[in-house]
Copies of this chain bind each other. A is one copy, B any other.
Protein backbone atom coordinates (compact mmCIF):
# COMPACT_ATOMS: atom_id res chain seq x y z
CA UNK A 1 0.00 0.00 0.00
CA UNK A 2 1.03 3.57 -0.54
CA UNK A 3 2.19 5.45 2.54
CA UNK A 4 0.04 8.48 3.31
CA UNK A 5 1.93 11.75 2.99
CA UNK A 6 3.64 12.52 6.29
CA UNK A 7 2.16 15.98 6.49
CA UNK A 8 -1.38 14.67 6.32
CA UNK A 9 -0.74 12.13 9.06
CA UNK A 10 0.50 14.79 11.43
CA UNK A 11 -2.57 17.03 11.06
CA UNK A 12 -5.59 14.74 11.25
CA UNK A 13 -8.98 16.33 11.75
CA UNK A 14 -10.00 15.47 15.31
CA UNK A 15 -13.18 16.61 17.01
CA UNK A 16 -13.68 16.21 20.73
CA UNK A 17 -16.33 17.18 23.22
CA UNK A 18 -15.52 18.76 26.59
CA UNK A 19 -17.95 18.76 29.49
CA UNK A 20 -17.46 21.55 32.00
CA UNK A 21 -18.54 21.19 35.61
CA UNK A 22 -19.50 24.86 35.61
CA UNK A 23 -22.31 26.97 34.18
CA UNK A 24 -21.53 29.47 31.42
CA UNK A 25 -22.62 32.30 33.71
CA UNK A 26 -19.38 31.85 35.70
CA UNK A 27 -17.22 33.39 32.98
CA UNK A 28 -14.12 33.12 35.17
CA UNK A 29 -14.10 29.42 35.94
CA UNK A 30 -16.09 28.29 32.90
CA UNK A 31 -13.90 30.64 30.87
CA UNK A 32 -10.95 28.33 31.46
CA UNK A 33 -12.52 25.75 29.15
CA UNK A 34 -13.09 28.44 26.54
CA UNK A 35 -9.41 29.36 26.70
CA UNK A 36 -8.37 25.72 26.32
CA UNK A 37 -10.51 24.99 23.28
CA UNK A 38 -9.78 28.30 21.51
CA UNK A 39 -6.03 28.00 22.01
CA UNK A 40 -5.94 24.37 20.88
CA UNK A 41 -7.90 25.25 17.75
CA UNK A 42 -5.63 28.21 17.01
CA UNK A 43 -2.38 26.28 17.47
CA UNK A 44 -3.56 23.39 15.28
CA UNK A 45 -5.00 25.58 12.53
CA UNK A 46 -8.48 24.35 13.36
CA UNK A 47 -7.60 20.70 12.85
CA UNK A 48 -8.05 19.70 16.49
CA UNK A 49 -11.43 21.02 17.54
CA UNK A 50 -12.84 20.65 21.03
CA UNK A 51 -16.47 21.64 21.53
CA UNK A 52 -17.18 22.86 25.07
CA UNK A 53 -20.45 22.11 26.86
CA UNK A 54 -21.62 23.71 30.09
CA UNK A 55 -22.57 21.60 33.11
CA UNK A 56 -25.85 19.82 32.43
CA UNK A 57 -25.73 20.05 28.66
CA UNK A 58 -24.31 16.53 28.28
CA UNK A 59 -23.97 15.36 31.89
CA UNK A 60 -24.43 17.13 35.23
CA UNK A 61 -21.34 18.92 36.55
CA UNK A 62 -20.57 16.31 39.18
CA UNK A 63 -20.66 13.47 36.63
CA UNK A 64 -17.86 14.95 34.57
CA UNK A 65 -15.32 12.36 35.71
CA UNK A 66 -17.56 9.39 34.92
CA UNK A 67 -18.29 10.85 31.51
CA UNK A 68 -14.56 10.97 30.75
CA UNK A 69 -13.71 7.61 32.33
CA UNK A 70 -16.46 5.98 30.27
CA UNK A 71 -15.66 7.88 27.06
CA UNK A 72 -19.03 9.62 26.88
CA UNK A 73 -16.89 12.70 26.22
CA UNK A 74 -13.17 12.92 25.53
CA UNK A 75 -12.43 15.44 28.26
CA UNK A 76 -13.74 17.53 31.13
CA UNK A 77 -12.88 20.87 32.72
CA UNK A 78 -13.54 20.36 36.40
CA UNK A 79 -12.24 20.24 39.97
CA UNK A 80 -10.97 16.83 40.92
CA UNK A 81 -12.17 17.30 44.51
CA UNK A 82 -15.74 16.96 43.28
CA UNK A 83 -15.01 13.23 43.14
CA UNK A 84 -13.94 12.62 46.75
CA UNK A 85 -16.93 10.30 47.06
CA UNK A 86 -15.08 7.84 44.83
CA UNK A 87 -11.75 8.40 46.60
CA UNK A 88 -10.60 11.24 48.89
CA UNK A 89 -7.31 11.29 46.96
CA UNK A 90 -9.12 13.29 44.29
CA UNK A 91 -9.22 16.21 46.74
CA UNK A 92 -5.45 16.66 46.63
CA UNK A 93 -5.73 17.37 42.92
CA UNK A 94 -7.63 20.61 43.54
CA UNK A 95 -7.27 21.83 47.14
CA UNK A 96 -7.33 20.43 50.64
CA UNK A 97 -7.68 22.32 53.93
CA UNK A 98 -4.44 24.12 54.80
CA UNK A 99 -2.85 22.94 51.56
CA UNK A 100 -1.03 25.15 49.07
CA UNK A 101 -1.67 28.66 47.81
CA UNK A 102 -2.06 29.20 44.05
CA UNK A 103 1.62 29.75 43.33
CA UNK A 104 2.81 26.77 45.35
CA UNK A 105 0.09 24.68 43.72
CA UNK A 106 1.69 25.43 40.37
CA UNK A 107 5.15 24.75 41.78
CA UNK A 108 4.10 21.36 43.19
CA UNK A 109 2.35 20.29 39.98
CA UNK A 110 4.83 21.61 37.39
CA UNK A 111 8.13 21.12 39.20
CA UNK A 112 7.44 19.05 42.28
CA UNK A 113 5.91 15.58 42.13
CA UNK A 114 2.32 16.80 41.77
CA UNK A 115 1.74 16.04 38.10
CA UNK A 116 3.44 12.65 38.28
CA UNK A 117 1.73 11.47 41.45
CA UNK A 118 -1.73 12.75 40.61
CA UNK A 119 -1.54 11.27 37.12
CA UNK A 120 -0.53 7.89 38.51
CA UNK A 121 -3.68 8.12 40.57
CA UNK A 122 -5.88 9.56 37.82
CA UNK A 123 -4.81 6.69 35.56
CA UNK A 124 -6.67 4.29 37.85
CA UNK A 125 -9.79 6.14 36.75
CA UNK A 126 -8.71 6.14 33.11
CA UNK A 127 -7.98 9.87 32.92
CA UNK A 128 -4.97 12.12 32.36
CA UNK A 129 -4.93 15.49 34.12
CA UNK A 130 -3.51 18.88 33.16
CA UNK A 131 -3.78 22.00 35.33
CA UNK A 132 -6.11 24.43 33.57
CA UNK A 133 -7.06 27.15 36.03
CA UNK A 134 -6.84 28.45 39.57
CA UNK A 135 -9.15 30.66 41.62
CA UNK A 136 -6.53 31.69 44.19
CA UNK A 137 -7.46 31.61 47.86
CA UNK A 138 -11.21 31.66 48.14
CA UNK A 139 -13.39 33.42 50.69
CA UNK A 140 -14.49 31.56 53.82
CA UNK A 141 -18.13 31.95 53.07
CA UNK A 142 -21.34 33.70 54.02
CA UNK A 143 -22.73 33.43 57.54
CA UNK A 144 -26.05 34.67 58.86
CA UNK A 145 -24.54 35.06 62.36
CA UNK A 146 -21.12 35.99 63.70
CA UNK A 147 -18.55 33.25 64.22
CA UNK A 148 -16.34 34.63 66.98
CA UNK A 149 -15.25 31.45 68.72
CA UNK A 150 -14.81 27.81 67.86
CA UNK A 151 -18.04 27.07 69.77
CA UNK A 152 -19.99 29.30 67.42
CA UNK A 153 -19.67 26.60 64.74
CA UNK A 154 -21.78 24.20 66.83
CA UNK A 155 -24.95 23.33 64.98
CA UNK A 156 -24.24 25.67 62.08
CA UNK A 157 -25.68 24.12 58.94
CA UNK A 158 -23.19 25.08 56.29
CA UNK A 159 -23.05 24.38 52.58
CA UNK A 160 -19.55 22.96 52.33
CA UNK A 161 -18.47 19.69 50.79
CA UNK A 162 -15.77 17.08 50.82
CA UNK A 163 -12.84 17.09 53.22
CA UNK A 164 -13.58 20.62 54.43
CA UNK A 165 -17.03 19.41 55.49
CA UNK A 166 -15.46 16.63 57.53
CA UNK A 167 -13.16 19.16 59.19
CA UNK A 168 -15.98 21.50 60.20
CA UNK A 169 -18.01 18.54 61.39
CA UNK A 170 -15.33 17.91 64.00
CA UNK A 171 -16.06 21.42 65.32
CA UNK A 172 -19.77 20.68 65.54
CA UNK A 173 -20.93 22.20 62.27
CA UNK A 174 -23.38 20.30 60.07
CA UNK A 175 -22.03 20.21 56.50
CA UNK A 176 -24.55 20.22 53.66
CA UNK A 177 -24.04 19.33 50.02
CA UNK A 178 -26.07 21.74 47.90
CA UNK A 179 -25.61 22.57 44.22
CA UNK A 180 -24.54 26.13 43.43
CA UNK A 181 -27.91 27.23 42.11
CA UNK A 182 -29.75 26.05 45.23
CA UNK A 183 -27.59 27.88 47.78
CA UNK A 184 -29.35 31.24 47.61
CA UNK A 185 -32.89 30.01 48.37
CA UNK A 186 -31.56 27.71 51.13
CA UNK A 187 -29.78 30.63 52.81
CA UNK A 188 -32.78 32.90 52.31
CA UNK A 189 -35.22 30.43 53.89
CA UNK A 190 -32.82 29.62 56.70
CA UNK A 191 -32.60 25.95 55.67
CA UNK A 192 -28.87 26.55 56.03
CA UNK A 193 -27.03 29.09 58.18
CA UNK A 194 -23.93 29.50 56.08
CA UNK A 195 -22.48 28.70 52.67
CA UNK A 196 -19.16 28.90 50.92
CA UNK A 197 -18.94 29.35 47.18
CA UNK A 198 -15.87 30.92 45.54
CA UNK A 199 -14.86 34.55 46.02
CA UNK A 200 -16.15 38.09 45.56
CA UNK A 201 -16.70 38.13 41.79
CA UNK A 202 -18.60 34.85 41.53
CA UNK A 203 -20.34 35.28 44.89
CA UNK A 204 -21.61 38.76 44.03
CA UNK A 205 -23.31 37.42 40.93
CA UNK A 206 -25.27 34.96 43.03
CA UNK A 207 -26.40 37.74 45.38
CA UNK A 208 -25.49 36.09 48.69
CA UNK A 209 -24.96 39.50 50.28
CA UNK A 210 -28.75 39.89 50.28
CA UNK A 211 -29.35 36.90 52.55
CA UNK A 212 -26.28 36.68 54.82
CA UNK A 213 -24.56 39.57 56.53
CA UNK A 214 -21.11 38.23 57.39
CA UNK A 215 -18.48 37.37 54.79
CA UNK A 216 -15.55 35.54 56.37
CA UNK A 217 -12.02 34.87 55.13
CA UNK A 218 -9.93 32.97 54.34
CA UNK A 219 -11.29 29.72 52.92
CA UNK A 220 -8.63 27.70 54.74
CA UNK A 221 -9.85 24.71 52.72
CA UNK A 222 -9.02 26.37 49.41
CA UNK A 223 -5.76 28.30 49.58
CA UNK A 224 -5.53 28.01 45.81
CA UNK A 225 -8.14 25.89 44.05
CA UNK A 226 -6.69 24.13 41.02
CA UNK A 227 -8.98 23.37 38.10
CA UNK A 228 -8.06 20.48 35.80
CA UNK A 229 -8.56 19.36 32.28
CA UNK A 230 -9.21 15.65 32.70
CA UNK A 231 -8.76 13.72 29.46
CA UNK A 232 -9.76 10.14 28.76
CA UNK A 233 -6.49 8.23 28.97
CA UNK A 234 -6.82 6.25 25.73
CA UNK A 235 -7.94 9.36 23.88
CA UNK A 236 -4.92 11.21 25.28
CA UNK A 237 -2.54 8.45 24.31
CA UNK A 238 -3.98 8.25 20.80
CA UNK A 239 -3.48 11.97 20.11
CA UNK A 240 -0.65 12.94 17.77
CA UNK A 241 2.28 14.24 19.84
CA UNK A 242 1.83 17.72 18.39
CA UNK A 243 -1.77 17.83 19.57
CA UNK A 244 -0.74 16.63 23.03
CA UNK A 245 1.76 19.49 23.09
CA UNK A 246 -0.81 22.03 21.88
CA UNK A 247 -3.31 20.87 24.52
CA UNK A 248 -0.65 20.95 27.26
CA UNK A 249 0.31 24.52 26.45
CA UNK A 250 -3.29 25.66 25.98
CA UNK A 251 -4.00 24.38 29.50
CA UNK A 252 -0.97 26.29 30.85
CA UNK A 253 -2.34 29.44 29.23
CA UNK A 254 -5.79 28.81 30.72
CA UNK A 255 -4.20 28.20 34.11
CA UNK A 256 -2.38 31.51 34.35
CA UNK A 257 -5.14 33.44 32.58
CA UNK A 258 -7.88 32.28 34.97
CA UNK A 259 -5.86 33.44 37.99
CA UNK A 260 -5.32 36.76 36.21
CA UNK A 261 -9.07 37.12 35.60
CA UNK A 262 -9.85 36.59 39.27
CA UNK A 263 -7.19 39.10 40.27
CA UNK A 264 -8.68 41.63 37.86
CA UNK A 265 -12.32 41.08 38.82
CA UNK A 266 -12.27 40.35 42.56
CA UNK A 267 -11.18 43.82 43.78
CA UNK A 268 -14.15 45.56 42.15
CA UNK A 269 -16.52 42.87 43.39
CA UNK A 270 -15.35 43.03 47.00
CA UNK A 271 -15.98 46.78 47.00
CA UNK A 272 -19.45 46.25 45.53
CA UNK A 273 -20.19 43.66 48.20
CA UNK A 274 -19.04 45.90 51.06
CA UNK A 275 -21.07 48.80 49.63
CA UNK A 276 -24.17 46.61 50.05
CA UNK A 277 -23.65 46.50 53.81
CA UNK A 278 -21.79 43.19 54.10
CA UNK A 279 -19.45 42.86 57.08
CA UNK A 280 -16.04 41.39 56.22
CA UNK A 281 -14.48 39.34 59.01
CA UNK A 282 -11.35 37.22 59.29
CA UNK A 283 -11.69 33.90 61.07
CA UNK A 284 -9.91 34.26 64.42
CA UNK A 285 -6.53 32.62 64.99
CA UNK A 286 -8.22 30.31 67.53
CA UNK A 287 -10.68 29.16 64.91
CA UNK A 288 -7.96 28.63 62.31
CA UNK A 289 -5.87 26.66 64.86
CA UNK A 290 -8.83 24.46 65.76
CA UNK A 291 -9.60 23.82 62.10
CA UNK A 292 -5.94 23.12 61.40
CA UNK A 293 -5.82 20.51 64.15
CA UNK A 294 -9.10 19.00 63.00
CA UNK A 295 -7.68 18.80 59.46
CA UNK A 296 -4.63 16.91 60.66
CA UNK A 297 -6.96 14.42 62.38
CA UNK A 298 -8.93 13.94 59.17
CA UNK A 299 -5.72 13.39 57.18
CA UNK A 300 -4.59 10.80 59.70
CA UNK A 301 -7.93 9.00 59.48
CA UNK A 302 -7.93 8.91 55.69
CA UNK A 303 -4.24 7.94 55.47
CA UNK A 304 -4.83 4.97 57.77
CA UNK A 305 -6.91 3.23 55.13
CA UNK A 306 -5.92 4.85 51.83
CA UNK A 307 -2.37 4.29 50.58
CA UNK A 308 -2.74 6.59 47.54
CA UNK A 309 -3.93 9.46 49.70
CA UNK A 310 -1.18 8.89 52.27
CA UNK A 311 1.58 8.83 49.66
CA UNK A 312 0.46 11.91 47.74
CA UNK A 313 -0.54 13.89 50.84
CA UNK A 314 2.84 13.28 52.47
CA UNK A 315 4.65 14.36 49.33
CA UNK A 316 2.62 17.58 49.21
CA UNK A 317 3.23 18.30 52.89
CA UNK A 318 6.99 17.94 52.43
CA UNK A 319 6.80 20.34 49.48
CA UNK A 320 4.62 22.76 51.47
CA UNK A 321 7.13 23.01 54.31
CA UNK A 322 9.84 24.03 51.89
CA UNK A 323 7.61 26.32 49.86
CA UNK A 324 6.39 28.32 52.83
CA UNK A 325 9.94 28.61 54.12
CA UNK A 326 10.92 30.56 51.02
CA UNK A 327 7.67 32.48 50.48
CA UNK A 328 7.78 34.02 53.94
CA UNK A 329 11.05 35.79 53.21
CA UNK A 330 11.23 38.07 50.23
CA UNK A 331 7.81 37.99 48.59
CA UNK A 332 5.86 38.11 51.84
CA UNK A 333 7.93 41.02 53.14
CA UNK A 334 7.45 42.86 49.86
CA UNK A 335 3.71 42.19 49.83
CA UNK A 336 3.32 43.21 53.47
CA UNK A 337 4.93 46.57 52.81
CA UNK A 338 2.79 47.11 49.72
CA UNK A 339 -0.40 46.22 51.59
CA UNK A 340 0.43 48.71 54.34
CA UNK A 341 0.84 51.39 51.68
CA UNK A 342 -2.44 50.29 50.11
CA UNK A 343 -4.34 50.54 53.39
CA UNK A 344 -2.84 53.94 54.09
CA UNK A 345 -3.97 55.18 50.69
CA UNK A 346 -0.38 55.72 49.63
CA UNK A 347 -0.12 53.30 46.70
Contact = CB atoms under 8 A, between A and B. Distances in A.
A267 B325 contact: yes
A322 B39 contact: no
A146 B138 CA distance: 40
Q: How many copies of this protein are present in the complex?
A: 2
Interface string A234-260: 000000111011101110110111011
B339 A335 contact: no
A279 interface: no
Contact of A263 (B138, B218, B323): B323
Interface string A319-347: 01111111111111111011101110011
A270 interface: yes
A107 B263 contact: yes
Given A252-B249, A256-B256, A322-B268, A218 B110 contact: no
A110 B242 contact: no
Contacts of A43: 43, 242, 245-246, 249
A264 B248 CA distance: 21
A138 B330 contact: yes
B333 A218 contact: yes
Contact of A259 (B106, B346, B347): B106
Q: How large is the interface on A (under 10, 10 to 19, 20 to 34, 35 or more residues)?
A: 35 or more
Interface in A1-39: 7-8, 10-11, 39
B11 A256 contact: no
Contact of A103 (B103, B257, B321): B103
A88 interface: no
A342 B328 contact: yes
A347 B334 contact: no
Contacts of A335: 101, 137, 223, 324, 327-328, 332
A101 B324 contact: no
Contacts of A106: 256, 259-260, 263
Interface in A206-242: 217-220, 223-224, 240-242
A42 interface: yes
Given A288-B337, A334-B220, A334-B223, A107 B139 contact: no
A122 B347 CA distance: 26
Interface of A: 7-8, 10-11, 39, 42-45, 98, 101-104, 106-107, 109-112, 136-140, 199-200, 217-220, 223-224, 240-242, 244-246, 248-250, 252-253, 255-257, 259-261, 263-264, 266-268, 270-271, 280, 282, 285, 288, 292, 317, 320-335, 337-339, 341-343, 346-347
